[in-house]
Amino acid sequence: MAARLGGAIFVLWAVASITFFAVRLIPGDPAQAVLGGPGSQASPEALAAVRTEYGFDKPVLVQYLAQLGRLATGDLGRSYALNQDVGPLVLDQLGGTVLLAVLALALAWLLALALAAWSTRGGTVAARVGSGLEIVAAALPHFWLATSLIVVFSIWLGVLPPISTVGAAGLVLPVLTLAIPLAGFLGQILRESLLAALESPFVLSARARGESERGVLWTHALRHASLPAISLSGWAFGSLISGAVVVETIFARPGLGRTLLTAVTLRDVPVVIGVVMIVAVAYILMTLLTDAATRLVDPRLRSE
């Protein structure tokens, strides 16, 4: 447990450091960004004042350490562009994105399980169809899928809103956009491990006891088959958050993704770092959750 905590702190430090230096590589003057962005006509005096106030005139190392110090106390700083504290700003946006990602992950699992269970039991044609669907789904880019879904469900059928409204209906298309490619990916893993599990001796033993195919699937095979996919779900969650940048932009949905995109465009360094830090924390928590889920499914890991 101590090692795990140490690892988490290390990841956060690394994320903070990489982001801090990466953002400095963007050309341009940060003081300019504070005073309204690249287009504004700020006077040299104003720029100098901002530099002193924000510490831009100090050596990079001093700025870096100051930044780490602030982060360590939980202070994410103030947005240059919005002139608000970054913490509350980012936390406000977190809920929507996490909801999107969690729903997408859950839907992807459901689709992948259904497809894997159907395609491993339905003979060779089902297996071919299943694996074909998975490959196509896994290969779909988010931006294309999102626009296609909008064309079909909003423009042709007119059943769902093209932009993300407040109600549940507004969530459907964004969630589908994120879930379908992930379902294809998880489905490939699930189907392969399910086939291996169905061939294993304990399944033969279960059948020899008179277990039905459904019983074989639910009491034995799916449990084994889900292990590799569960381990990958932590990673999948991370990829869903980055997918949210595209999806939130297309569906005009407020959230971390859009906040991040705006902040990068405006060179709003504290917001960028804030979003990245929050996402890193969410990712670490998700990894801990998948570890716990793996232990729940696989008692061999609990025995020590």
Partner 1 sequence: MTMTEPAAALTVHNLRVGFGADPVVRGVSFEIARGECLAIVGESGSGKSVTARSLLGLAGANARVGADQLELGGQTVLGLTDRAWRARRGKDVGLVLQDALVSLDPLRPIGREIADSLRLHTTLGAAARARRVLELLDAVGLPEPATQVQKLSGQLSGGERQRALIAAAIALDPPLLIADEPTTALDVTVQAQILALLEHITRAGTAVLLISHDLAVVSRIAHRVAVMHDGRMIETGRTEQVLGAPRHEQTQRMVAAIPADKPRGTRLSLSTRPRDAASPVSADSTVLANSTVLDDSTVSAASTVVLEAIGLSKSYRRPDGSRHLAVDDVSFALQRGSTLGIVGESGSGKTTTARLLLALLPPDRGAVRVFGEPWSAASEKTRRGLRPGVGAIYQDALGSFDPRWNVAEILTDALGLSPGLRQRRRAPQTTARLLTLLDEVGLAAAVLTRRPLELSGGQRQRVGIARALAGRPEILICDEPVSSLDVSVQAQVLDLLDDLQRERGLSLIFISHDLGVVQHVSDEIAVMRAGRVVESGPAARVFAAPQHPYSVQLLAAVPRLPA
Per-residue interface string for the shown chain with partner 1, residues 218-257, x marking contact by CB under 8 A:
-xx--xx---------------------------------
Per-residue interface string for the shown chain with partner 1, residues 186-215, x marking contact by CB under 8 A:
--------------xxx-xxxxxxxxx--x
Minimum distance, C-beta of residue 205 to partner 1, in the bound complex (Å):
5
* Residue whose CB is less far from partner 1, 179 or 230: 230
* Residue whose CB is less far from partner 1, 191 or 224: 224
* Residue whose CB is less far from partner 1, 51 or 207: 207
Minimum distance, C-beta of residue 284 to partner 1, in the bound complex (Å):
24
Q: Assess contact for 37 and 262: CB atoms under 8 A.
A: no
Structure tokens at 46: 């104003």
* Residue whose CB is less far from partner 1, 116 or 222: 222
- d(CA 277, CA 125) in angstroms, rounded, equals 47
Give the total of residues touching partner 1 (CB under 8 A): 23
Minimum distance, C-beta of residue 197 to partner 1, in the bound complex (Å):
10
Minimum distance, C-beta of residue 135 to partner 1, in the bound complex (Å):
25
Minimum distance, C-beta of residue 204 to partner 1, in the bound complex (Å):
7
Residue ranges binding partner 1 (CB under 8 A): 200-202, 204-212, 215, 219-220, 223-224, 297-300, 303-304
